[in-house]
Amino acid sequence: MALRNIVKEGDPILERKCRPVEKFDEKLHTLLDDMAETLYDSGGVGLAGPQVGILRRLCVIDVGEGLFEFINPEIVETKGEQERVEGCLSCPDQYGIILRPKYVKTRYFDRFGKEHFVEGEDLFAQAMCHEFDHLDGILFKTKVERMLSQEELEGMNEE
C-alpha cells in the first residue's frame, strides 16, 4: 500500500466528469487500498477518484462505521433534508453550511464487481452525496449556502 497525493482545489481534474470503472482487477484493488490508506492518513471521512488523479467513478468512505468502497455508485433514493457543516480534503481549512438529504439509498458495486445497496443517514448520507458529487466534477463549494468565516472557524476549534 502507498499514500497517494491529494489533488487540491484549482486543479482542473477536480472539475471533470469520471468514467465508469470497467475492470475489477488487481490494479483497481491496489488503487482502493491506497485510497483507504490515504483517507485514514488524512483524517477525512471520504476520498474520491479525482482527488488522487483518477477519473473513474469510485470513492472510499468511513464515517466511523467501517470502510465502504463504492464503485460506480448511483443514488437511487433520498429523503428529507439536513443542514450541515461540510469541508473537503481538496479544500483545506475551508468549511461551509450546506443542505444535503437526510437519508440516501445507494446502489453500487464492490471491488469484485458484485452489486450492493446501502442506506445511510446524517453524516453517512452527507458523505455519500459529497463524494459522489466529486465523480461528476462538483465541489461542495459550488453548492454551499455560505462559507464559514475565519471567526466562525476559530469558534468551532475552541469547542
Which span (64-72, 83-91, 92-100, 151-159) binds Ni ion, by CB under 5 A? 83-91
Residues 90, 55: Cα–Cα separation, whole Å:
15
Q: With contacts defined by CB under 5 A, name the span among 58-66, 82-90, 96-104, 105-113 that binds Ni ion.
A: 82-90
Which of 24, 63 has the CB closer to Ni ion?
63
Q: Which residue number, 33 or 133, has a Cβ lying nearer to Ni ion? A: 133
Q: How far is the CB of 105 from Ni ion (least distance, A)?
A: 21
Helix (DSSP H) and strand (DSSP E) numbers for the chain? 3, 8
Catalytic (active site) residue 22: no
User: Which stretch of DSSP H or E encloses residue 155?
Assistant: helix 150-158
From 14, 36, 39, 88, residue interacting with Ni ion (rule: CB under 5 A): 88
3-state secondary structure of 38: helix
Q: CB–CB of 63/71 below 8 Å? A: no
Pairwise CA distance, residues 158 & 114, whole Å: 44
Rounded to an integer, what distance in angstroms lies between the CA atom of residue 21 and that of residue 32? 12
CB 73 within 8 A of CB 59: yes
In angstroms, give the least distance from the CB of 130 to Ni ion: 6
Q: Which of 26, 81, 119, 131 is catalytic?
A: 131
Shortest separation between residue 88's beta carbon and Ni ion, angstroms: 3
- Closer to Ni ion at the Cβ: 88 or 104? 88
Give 142 or 157: the residue with its C-beta nearer to Ni ion. 142
Catalytic residues: 131
Residues that bind Ni ion (CB under 5 A): 88
